Amino acid sequence: MPASPLAAGDAASTSSAAGPADDDDRVFLVLHRWWREAQEGAGIDAHGVPYAAAPAGPTSYGMKVLSLLMSDHTAFTLRRADGLAAPQPQQPAQGAAAAKGGLGVAGGSGGARSYALVAADLFGKARAWHLESAKSNGKGSLLTEETSVNIYPIMLRVSVTRGTNALTVKISKKDNSVENFKRATKILAPDSEPVHIWDFSGRTTFILMNEWNRMPQDLRSSDQEMPLEIQFYDMSEPTSNGAVGKKDELALTMGSSVLSNGSIMDMDLDSSSGICKQVGSGLTGLDNLGNTCFMNSSVQCLAHTSKLVDYFLGDYHKEINPHNPLGMKGELAYSFGDLLRKLWTIDRSSFSPRQFKARLARFAPQFSGFNQHDSQELLAFLLDGLHEDLNRVKCKPYSEAKDSDGRPDEEVADEYWGNHLARNDSIIVDTCQGQYKSTLVCPLCKKVSVTFDPFMYLSLPLPSTTMRTMTITVFSTDGITGPSPYTVNVPKSGDTKTLINALSNACSLRDDERLLVAEVYNSSIIRYLEEPSEVISLIRDGDRLVAYRLPKDSEDAPIVVFKNQRMESSLSSFGRKSWKNFGAPLVSSLPGTINGHTIYNLFLQLLVPFRVSKDDIADADQINCKSSAVNGIADMDMGSGAAECASIHNNAGEDAIMTDTAMEFYLNNERFPDQHFKIEMDQVVTPGLRKRLHVIVCWQDDGLKQYNLDSLDSLPEIYKSVLFARRPQETCSLYACLEAFIKEEPLGPEDMWYCPGCKEHRQASKKLDLWRLPEILIIHLKRFSYSRYTKNKLDTFVDFPIHDLDLSKFVRDRSGQLSNHYQLYAVSNHYGSMGGGHYTAYVFHEGEKRWYDFDDRSVERVDKEDSIKTSAAYVLFYRRIQGDSSSLVTETTIESDCTS
């Protein structure tokens, strides 16, 4: 979804008659007659663009009702209507009566409902005029009392159809509360009365022109939805979630903690200390500003971390470090502290984090705009930024890490931890940071290096023993055997090396051969699977893989890749023929000296398995000959057809020999694919830097008759899914993830370690161990996998303990001073796939001793505790259990095995 400034509204407060601030970019929907009355009374000069609404779905009443019942969204079309007559302002008495009807009253002539979209500054002026008018004469305004209205936000999805002046507006239950969805549907959706909307804010013009013109050309053919939040100024109901007064802006000055077990307690008013009586439940949702669910999920988990709540509801300002060059001048801490206070001190159902997001985007541009992001990445940046803003160390001393040199682990660990605390001291370090032991061993000199590093969270892999069925087509390069598909079973979490080993056994690879595996798309090789440690989970079932059998002794020798092309008609070019790729590429190793004759002969050798017999050629030509003769008779022109048939018939008994005119060879520049250079027979050719020569073979029709290349066009997919077939849900315990995390494994070739003994970079083996654990343990489950070409999400169900996560056997520090038992109190969830999806949070409320589901602005109780365990769990938040945990009753069986 393209970024758009249209989704920058938040839930409005109706407490102040002064109107929104000058930098407020919200848009308000009001009765047109209320706006017109204020416009004339206050002399507001603004021009509105009229639109008429029409249903975008079923037109019949019965189908419309059925659609509303079956669908979770409603849609209508706004079309420019310049000839629309604006409704005139009513008399005072009529206005007061009309106000009782709220936004749904008739606002124009002919029974039409008419509204105005106005910017925040204009809305503030109009509201101020109405209030002043009501105070001065007690009448003459549609709005007589500020407390008789309600302001609530509605999130819309707006799309533009190319070449029109119309906008399609969608209202979805997913983006709004059920109550607000019903209100918006009743008010805006065209039904028995037409709906007219005048836009005085300029937002619709912005969507139609500016945003539209900036879209890439290839995206304009389909609707691109843009988020737009508008504030409904409803004069029909008492304020329920809009008028919160100055309570939103209270800066609570507390001399002692007001949080008890995660729940704010009552506070008595004390004029001398500035502490006020305020009750907060912590069950306040966060509005979605447009794909900000990832932020809302992480914030809600942190907002129910009792240590942080205690800290930010206290006098945290004295620890702000504005001069830390690694921090954000304290602005991130101020903004987060203000957001957390409002979540715990306001008494409405939701709050908009618009200011916090703006401040966040200022220091982290990657989170600007309204694209979807990763909740764990946001969490990592936020914790690190808060730490630097609140770092109590003003001048960081220099400390050099010393090698262990065989010293006791306890001594080295304390030394590393002391050096870390000398430079880093904050509430985040006190609460969220632990320490792990890292052991590196050189494979040659056996040098052992031990370091102890801090961590903010643990990123655990998801191990898997589930087998995966994969089909790969193997090509021989000896000119004897044709391509053949092989199906192998490999571990789902395996790597490229595992796949190649299984495939080598399946195709009976000889000791003097090796396999070059590649992915083919659109008759071209798009990548080679040459990295042994690359996980095969990144390969999708719909991909097509090929493997070429090459001599092992030519592992460092250059290869030639032949890509086939032929003339084909194209519908997009009105039947004109052009060169098109076809078939899978063929590969061969190259000798020392390479010229046009070498390339020609190598290609002919690869084509031997595809050669068509002379009888098949004669039969095919006889059929073509008869067809040509029939067409010749029909066209009263038999000369050319008869002559061609006679020639073919006379030569049918001879072996068809490939001629130079049957195909042409062109050298293809790998860096610039559009550049082709014809290869002459005596021309010397040199491979590129990657020792790969890319050659395009342009086939002529007479050459194609001599070979059957159909098998090159029918490569099987990795796995052909069966319709309605359901694969078993893969499950794994959290303890198995921890086992995989501490498992010893070699470093990748791109992550070599500089061995101080060898004085060279070595592919050392690495092992991690937990040494000391923090009070708040954050566990990140690595569901998302990225590579240069693909990305994937693992939907493995991780069975994690809720009441007692026992990490005793994973912690190497045996001092036993702190408990190694943890209790779950929050979960950040991700539903959906890589391309989209939605984030929510499960949070345990200490005050009510029950779980809640935080889904943006919606907060609902969780009936069954076990229901928080889903395959969507992404980030787990645990707090240390103080004291003896042996008496805890747990329902989770500790296992380190994975099942499927």
CB atoms within 10 A of CB 687: 16
Active-site residue 625, yes or no?
no
Is 90 strand, coil or helix? Answer: coil
Q: Which residues contact 570 (CB under 8 A, 6 or more apart)?
A: 576, 577, 578, 580
Report in angstroms the alpha-carbon separations of 412 from 398, 450, 644, 820, 839.
Answer: 17, 9, 90, 21, 41
Question: Is there a contact between 30 and 231 (Cβ–Cβ < 8 Å)?
Answer: no
Distance CA(23)–CA(119), nearest Å, equals 11
Report in angstroms the alpha-carbon separations of 822 from 194, 380, 454, 774, 778.
Answer: 60, 21, 19, 10, 11
CB atoms within 10 A of CB 322: 12
Distance CA(683)–CA(704), nearest Å, equals 25
Distance CA(176)–CA(554), nearest Å, equals 63
**Residue 654 in tokens:** 């001879």
* CA angle (73, 77, 78) in 5-degree steps: 130
Single-letter code of the amino acid located at 131: L
* CA angle (858, 865, 460) in 5-degree steps: 90
Place of tokens 């001092």: 815
Active-site residue 838, yes or no?
yes
Q: Which of 32, 293, 694, 898 is catalytic?
A: 293
Task: Measure the CA dihedral 183/187/189/193, to 10°.
Answer: 150
DSSP state at residue 95: H
Query: Could you write out the DSSP letters of every residue in 789-833?
Result: S-EEE--PEEE--SS-EE-GGGB------S--EEEEEEEEEEES-
Question: Is there a contact between 333 and 878 (Cβ–Cβ < 8 Å)?
Answer: no
Pairing label, strands 545-551, 467-476: parallel
DSSP state at residue 141: -
3-state SS of 8-45 is CCCCCCCCCCCCCCCCCCCEEEEEHHHHHHHHHHHCCC
CB atoms within 10 A of CB 811: 18
For residue 261, the number of C-alpha atoms closer than 13 Å in the C-beta half-sphere is 7
Q: Which of 196, 838, 845, 898 is catalytic?
A: 838
Burial class of residue 239 (count of CB atoms within 10 Å of its CB; 0-12, 13-18, 19+): buried
Catalytic residues: 293, 838
